[in-house]
């Protein structure tokens, strides 16, 4: 990499069954990121604590059930305590929290092995230790971490994002100002004062970054409040996996002339995980690498269920091999299954077919707009670990009909509660990496030149020359929108 280039990355991991397990997964991802020279890693909205997709906590208009209250108790207990306060309008302690200057640290407790009461004063660690754990992970790996979390303060929960610097620890935290729809049932509103951007310097490059959480990105004035602070890295952790999300990210990138990184969880219905990937390329075992460096072969050419042999290319395409002839390995001859060809000539076998190659009616009936969608047929170019300086190829922008991921052990399509879709976009709207569909263990990245943000402002600076701030005025209660410096 040239000295001016920074490697930014994102992933689509799912929250683990317990908060300690999720923290352990963050450590695992950060160490993997460090092994690939990644500088900044973004993780999804509500990653710590979890996104309670599909539940209503036993609430209907005018009634709350006892079971729902118990469910909320469990959710509250899974949230992290970062040692902050509620603060005015949900702002928390802001800079006082960052500098660890909140009152209440000195309390009566145990000193010298004796109980408190009238005993000596001791220093009480605020929070549950999550802040210290995340700071330790960033410090040990050298990766700047940004992750979503469900934060508890007082008796309320907040959907938050923390910025964790390897050298300075947590240099900022913000709380979602507008939870969406039923999220408002369990998440309190955060203060717009927490929208203040933060800065870090990596290898001499100053990066001004800020996060807009999920549908806050549909709030034009909130976006403008971030552009006004002269950010060059716009982060968008989300729970939105619709096909409409990526166009929004591309719009934000062009509008703000900044790099945009988005992260959304990929959650499998049965909770299982897939083979790890790095930048879209499956991580091969040493034995597999010796066998074939360009593709992963199906370990069983023809399994007992009669599933056809296939290989997966570096780009993640499954390519079907010819069906066995009649009598081969004791299997009867079968009609060839339906398939399609993408723009690059790769044959993709359609999974929902019977032995005669026809779509199964019961499967067709279950298909709707959310489970079958139009997505990019080819995402970023896979980058082998031996060539760390090569940036991912820009997405072609062309689309094809989405085909589900096939579980090789069963021959059935995996089912997802959330398909992910994490991505990285340039200040000119080019998709540099992703969208990362149905990959809950991979990391995608791009090597970027932050001077592209300045190049883009030759013709568009929505917070400066293109703002007409003599006529259009924006103020945000409690937020200093003074532009951060470049150096």
What does 153-201 look like in DSSP terms, one character per residue? Answer: ETTEEEEEEEEEETTTEEEEEEE-SS--GGGGGT-PPPPGGGG--EEEE
* Catalytic hit among 152, 173, 176, 378: 176
Q: For 226-378, list the strands marked E by DSSP.
A: 233-238, 259-264, 266-268, 277-278, 281-282, 295-297, 310-313, 318-320, 339-341, 347-349, 374-376
* Catalytic hit among 45, 135, 255, 318: 45
Active site annotation includes 214? yes
477 and 192 Cβ atoms separated by less than 8 Å: yes
Distance from C-alpha of 270 to C-alpha of 234, rounded to nearest angstrom: 33
Report how far apart, in Å, the C-alpha atoms of 156 and of each of 53, 86, 133 are. 19, 8, 22
Active site annotation includes 176? yes
For the record, the structure tokens of 276 come out as 């790890």
Give the angle subtended at the CA of 446 by the CAs of 170 and 419, to the nearest 5°.
80
Report how far apart, in Å, the C-alpha atoms of 252 and of each of 5, 146, 248, 286, 428 are. 21, 19, 6, 42, 10
For the record, the structure tokens of 304 come out as 């007992």
Conformational region of residue 58, where left means phi above 0, alpha means psi within -120 to 50, and beta covers everything else: left
* Catalytic hit among 149, 159, 214, 266: 214
**What b/e readout covers 323-336, taking b as 16+ CB neighbours within 10 angstroms?**
bbeeeeeeeeeeee
Q: Please choose, from the candidates 59, 89, 60, the residue with its C-alpha nearest in 3D space to the C-alpha of residue 75.
A: 59
Exposure of 453 in the CB half-sphere (CA atoms within 13 A):
27
Active site annotation includes 45? yes
119: helix, strand or coil: coil
* Catalytically annotated residues: 45, 176, 214
């Amino acid at each position: 990499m040239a000295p001016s280039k920074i490697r930014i990355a994102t992933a689509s991991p799912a929250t683990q069954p317990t908060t300690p397990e999720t923290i352990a997964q963050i450590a695992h991802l950060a160490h993997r990121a460090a092994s690939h020279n990644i500088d900044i890693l973004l993780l999804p909205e509500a990653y710590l604590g979890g996104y309670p997709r599909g539940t209503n906590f036993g609430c209907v208009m005018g009634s709350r059930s006892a079971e729902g209250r118990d469910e909320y108790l469990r959710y509250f207990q899974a949230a992290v305590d970062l040692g902050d306060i509620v603060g005015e309008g949900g702002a928390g302690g802001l800079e006082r929290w960052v500098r660890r200057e909140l009152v209440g640290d000195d309390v009566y407790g145990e000193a010298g092995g004796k109980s408190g009461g009238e005993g000596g004063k001791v220093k009480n660690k605020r929070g549950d230790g999550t802040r210290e754990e995340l700071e330790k992970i960033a410090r040990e790996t050298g990766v700047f971490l940004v992750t979503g979390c469900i934060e508890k303060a007082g008796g309320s929960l907040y959907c938050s994002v923390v910025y964790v610097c390897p050298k300075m620890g947590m240099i900022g935290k913000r709380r979602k100002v507008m939870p969406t729809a039923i999220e408002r049932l369990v998440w309190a509103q955060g203060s717009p004062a927490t929208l203040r951007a933060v800065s870090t310097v990596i290898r001499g490059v100053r990066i001004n970054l800020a996060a807009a959480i999920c549908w806050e990105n549909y709030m034009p004035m909130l976006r403008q409040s971030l552009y006004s602070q002269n950010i060059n890295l716009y982060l968008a952790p989300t729970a939105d996996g619709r096909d409409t999300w990526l166009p929004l990210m591309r719009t934000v990138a062009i509008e703000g002339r900044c790099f945009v990184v988005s992260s959304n969880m990929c959650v499998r219905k049965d909770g299982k995980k897939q083979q790890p990937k790095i930048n879209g390329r499956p991580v091969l075992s040493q034995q597999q690498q010796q066998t074939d460096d360009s593709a992963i072969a199906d370990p069983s050419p023809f399994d007992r269920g009669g599933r056809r042999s296939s290989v997966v290319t570096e780009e993640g395409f499954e390519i079907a091999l010819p069906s066995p002839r009649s009598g081969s390995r004791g299997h009867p001859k079968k009609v060839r299954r339906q398939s399609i060809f993408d723009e690059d000539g790769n044959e993709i076998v359609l999974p929902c077919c019977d032995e005669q190659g026809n779509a199964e009616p019961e499967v067709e009936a279950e298909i709707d707009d959310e489970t079958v969608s139009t997505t990019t047929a080819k995402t970023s170019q896979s980058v082998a670990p031996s060539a760390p300086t090569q940036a991912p190829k820009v997405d072609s922008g062309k689309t094809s009909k989405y085909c589900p991921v096939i579980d090789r052990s069963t021959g059935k399509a995996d089912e997802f509660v959330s398909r992910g879709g994490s991505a990285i976009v340039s200040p000119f709207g080019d998709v540099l990496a992703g969208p990362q569909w149905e990959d809950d263990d991979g990391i995608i990245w791009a090597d970027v030149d932050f001077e592209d943000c300045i190049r883009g402002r030759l013709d568009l600076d929505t917070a400066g020359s293109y703002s007409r701030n003599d006529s259009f005025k924006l103020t945000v209660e409690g937020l200093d929108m003074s532009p951060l410096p470049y150096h």
